[in-house]
Amino acid sequence: MKGDQVKIMKNDLDTLCINTIRMLCVDAVQQANSGHPGMPMGAAAMAYTLWTRFLRHNPRNPSWPNRDRFVLSAGHGSMLLYSLLHLAGYDLPLDELKNFRQWGSRTPGHPEYGRTPGVETTTGPLGQGFSNGVGIAVAERFLAARFNKPGFTIVDHHTYGIVSDGDLMEGISHEAASLAGHLGLGKLIYLYDDNHISIEGSTDIAFTEDRMKRFEAYKWHVQQIEDGNDLVAIAGAIEKAQKETDKPSIIAVRTHIGFGSPNKQDTPSAHGEPLGPEEVFRTKENLGWPSDSSFLIPEKASTHFLQAQVRGNTMEQEWNETFHAYSQSFPDLADTWHRWMSQELPQDLEKYFPSFPPDPKGIATRAASGKVLNALAPHIPNLVGGSADLAPSNKTLISNESDFHAGTYEGRNIHFGVREHGMGSIMNGMALHGGLIPYGGTFLIFSDYMKPAIRLAAMMGLQIIYVFTHDSIGLGEDGPTHQPIEQLASLRSIPNLIVLRPADANEVAQVWRIALQRKNGPSALALTRQSLPTLDRSALGPAESVAKGGYILKDTDDGRPEIILMASGSEVPITLEAARELEKQKIKARVVNMVSWELFDEQPIDYRESVLPEKVSARVSLEAGCTQGWQKYTGAGGVVLGIDHFGASAPFQKLYEEFGITAKNMVKTGLQLLERKRR
């Protein structure tokens, strides 16, 4: 061990610290026999510079609201982040690093939000972190505009990230970069790990455009550094980036994947596999590190990194004092701040929910959604969002509110542009920041374009509201490319996402209530383009029952149906018509409105049994989408009516008729079913 100490002494403090990061990553990947050592080895120097000289954070309180955010977009390099968190003194003991990628550890293969203190977002799907960072920076600007007052800077932090070749190749980063440049998000600073290597080899095989010119065109501030170990150059570039307050910044840092490994540096094999015991030994030797050590953290390095705790405490203390003084001068704003940060809704919100009188002509549920949004928005000023260029169709615009754009960041209407994927991921970032309830609209069909971001929102348990309109063939003439078929089923298959398909205007108010109250996961509203009657509830189940997901909308006089008809959204009025027709034929039919499968499935068994009694096996469901999944409610003895093929371009009434989404078909099916059961 004596000899080891001598070797270490040869390093200056910076090199010692950087090699500490590198070797922790190498050792953890080797121990797990799985993971990605190369990226952390190459990016360690810039990460070290950022974390020890610039990042304003408090390892003792990872949720200090005004901390700088750090996003490791190249999530496969997770060990880099875990090493930094451990070394800076977050609650992540060394044993967790030794347990990298193991069951129950706080060091999963890719960073997972909520699992590890200090991890700001779940990354791994390349490009998502890049885009989340843009959303975080959007939230920072909005909150700064709303809360800061002369002499009181409450919100004022940077959003930093390390992004990789893969991040910059993915389309989503193009969308987010374009919007970030347009919005002039000057406090967003990315370090690009420009190591020229991805999995299949050199980036030359697939990625040869001038990336930095691209970013210049996006209106970013661009810098390049030739040597990824040149700490002076890196620090200088970050300083310059901080000074550029009108543009987001990217600093391309030429690094070397697997830096220090004699045989694997600059090769793709350093990307995603352990170096192997022999090469670990050689690498340590090469970097002047004790070659027989494992998970070594030299004391000098540890002391240096841990200064982050002292610095962080002081920073947070100062902020607390400022906030205390702010609370005296602006008590209402301070109170609002606390409510926003804890996702609280106004206590009197209930009285602002609109109700809609019965109306056979009715309105489209998208239009009702616009009315509900506009009735509630003035009372929920942290409800911030927009649409991917479809606001007039999605009815997502908040009237009498300004736009969020460069320089005027207090606006609540965000124009995401035709960038569904970027929008999804930016909303994730906004929610991750804290303080906002983001919502975003597009056509239901294009939920496919943002699905990876929806999935991550659900995984992270973020409160986000998706306003998906034009939710079926009911959109008519735009044809099969625009008509959702499998989208409802696809969204319903995502864990922790709830899909809500209301049947009339009053149910729209209910689904907004549910989405606003749901703090630990996203909600997707599926809304119609076409008008739906506003149901006369005097003889029907109340719209409030939507909270249970599925409920008896219309029952038989004695509550003992022979057949159960069920539907969601725009097919509910058709189903009511079918029930009336069956009644005329002396058949007792119950209509169940299945607004949300997820919420219904959460109900106690007794409730579910009361809605769908086991003994009534004659059941028919109707939904203008693919039939997949409805069998769980109709049972093997029931019939699922739906559309298991693509749509067509025609007026919607014609499409409903041609595809059998009619009361007539439901009645016929129901009669046949009863007949078969009688035989």
Ligand X SMILES: Cc1ncc(C[n+]2csc(CCOP(=O)(O)OP(=O)(O)O)c2C)c(N)n1
Contact map string, positions 372 to 391, toward ligand X, x by CB under 6 A: --------------------
Spatial neighbors of 210 by CB under 8 A, at least 6 apart, are: none
- In this chain, which of 68, 140, 170, 581 binds ligand X, going by CB under 6 A? 170
Nearer to ligand X, 31 or 198 (CB): 198
Assign residue 114 a region (left: φ > 0; alpha: ψ between -120 and 50; beta: otherwise): left
Nearer to ligand X, 120 or 170 (CB): 170
Q: How far apart are CA 467 and CA 516, in angstroms?
A: 13
Is 410 assigned a catalytic role? no
Q: How far apart are CA 465 and CA 522, in angstroms?
A: 6
Nearer to ligand X, 38 or 59 (CB): 38
Q: Quote the least distance from Cβ 168 to ligand X, whole Å.
A: 8
Q: Quote the least distance from Cβ 196 to ligand X, whole Å.
A: 8
- In this chain, which of 89, 166, 522, 561 binds ligand X, going by CB under 6 A? 166
At residue 658, the 3 state secondary structure works out as: helix
Other CB atoms within 10 Å distance of the CB of residue 293: 16
Nearer to ligand X, 43 or 524 (CB): 43
Q: Which residue is nearest to ligand X (CB)?
A: 166
Nearer to ligand X, 120 or 194 (CB): 194
Q: Quote the least distance from Cβ 130 to ligand X, whole Å.
A: 11
- In this chain, which of 76, 187, 421, 518 binds ligand X, going by CB under 6 A? 76
String of DSSP letters for 129-182: HHHHHHHHHHHHHHHHHHH-BTTB------EEEEEEHHHHHSHHHHHHHHHHHH
Single-letter amino acid, residue 96? E
- In this chain, which of 18, 21, 24, 74 binds ligand X, going by CB under 6 A? 74
Q: Binders of ligand X among 199-218, rule CB under 6 A?
A: 199
At residue 513, the 3 state secondary structure works out as: helix
- In this chain, which of 30, 83, 164, 523 binds ligand X, going by CB under 6 A? 164
- In this chain, which of 66, 83, 121, 198 binds ligand X, going by CB under 6 A? 198
Nearer to ligand X, 74 or 380 (CB): 74
Q: Binders of ligand X among 106-125, rule CB under 6 A?
A: 124-125
Specify the residue for token string 């929610």.
Answer: 431
Q: Quote the least distance from Cβ 267 to ligand X, whole Å.
A: 10
Q: Binders of ligand X among 251-270, rule CB under 6 A?
A: 257
Residue 190 near residue 130 (C-beta atoms within 8 A): yes
Q: Which two tokens stand for residue 89?
A: 């003194």
- In this chain, which of 25, 126, 498, 599 binds ligand X, going by CB under 6 A? 126
Q: Quote the least distance from Cβ 121 to ligand X, whole Å.
A: 14
Size of interface with ligand X, in residues (CB under 6 A): 19
Three-class DSSP labels, 404-435: CECCECCCCEEECCCCHHHHHHHHHHHHHHCC
String of DSSP letters for 439-504: EEEEEGGGGGGGHHHHHHHHHHT---EEEEES-SGGG-TT-TTTS-SSHHHHHHTSTT-EEE--SS
Other CB atoms within 10 Å distance of the CB of residue 493: 12
Single-letter amino acid, residue 529? R
Q: Binders of ligand X among 8-27, rule CB under 6 A?
A: none
Q: Which two tokens stand for residue 233?
A: 């150059």
**Which of the stretches 174-182, 190-198, 306-314, 613-621 binds ligand X when contact is defined by CB under 6 A?**
190-198
Q: Quote the least distance from Cβ 126 to ligand X, whole Å.
A: 4
**Which of the stretches 2-10, 17-25, 163-171, 664-672 binds ligand X when contact is defined by CB under 6 A?**
163-171
Given 140, 170, 316, 420, which residue is catalytic? 420
Specify the residue for token string 């990336």.
Answer: 211
**Which of the stretches 164-172, 387-395, 414-422, 562-570 binds ligand X when contact is defined by CB under 6 A?**
164-172
Closest CA to 513 of 571, 389, 596: 596
String of DSSP letters for 629-649: TTHHHH-TTSEEE---S---S
- In this chain, which of 11, 195, 249, 621 binds ligand X, going by CB under 6 A? 195
- In this chain, which of 38, 362, 521, 642 binds ligand X, going by CB under 6 A? 38
**Ordered strands of the 639-641 beta sheet:** 550-554, 589-594, 563-567, 619-622, 639-641
Q: Quote the least distance from Cβ 215 to ligand X, whole Å.
A: 16
Specify the residue for token string 């952390």.
Answer: 40
Nearer to ligand X, 210 or 299 (CB): 210
Q: Quote the least distance from Cβ 407 to ligand X, whole Å.
A: 33
Q: Quote the least distance from Cβ 24 to ligand X, whole Å.
A: 17
DSSP state of 506: H
Residue 388 near residue 469 (C-beta atoms within 8 A): no
Nearer to ligand X, 166 or 312 (CB): 166
Nearer to ligand X, 75 or 541 (CB): 75
The answer to whether 221 contacts ligand X (rule: CB under 6 A) is: no
**Residues engaged in binding ligand X (CB under 6 A):** 36, 38-39, 74, 76, 124-126, 164-166, 170, 193, 195, 197-199, 257, 271
Would you please indicate which residues are annotated as catalytic (active-site) residues? 420
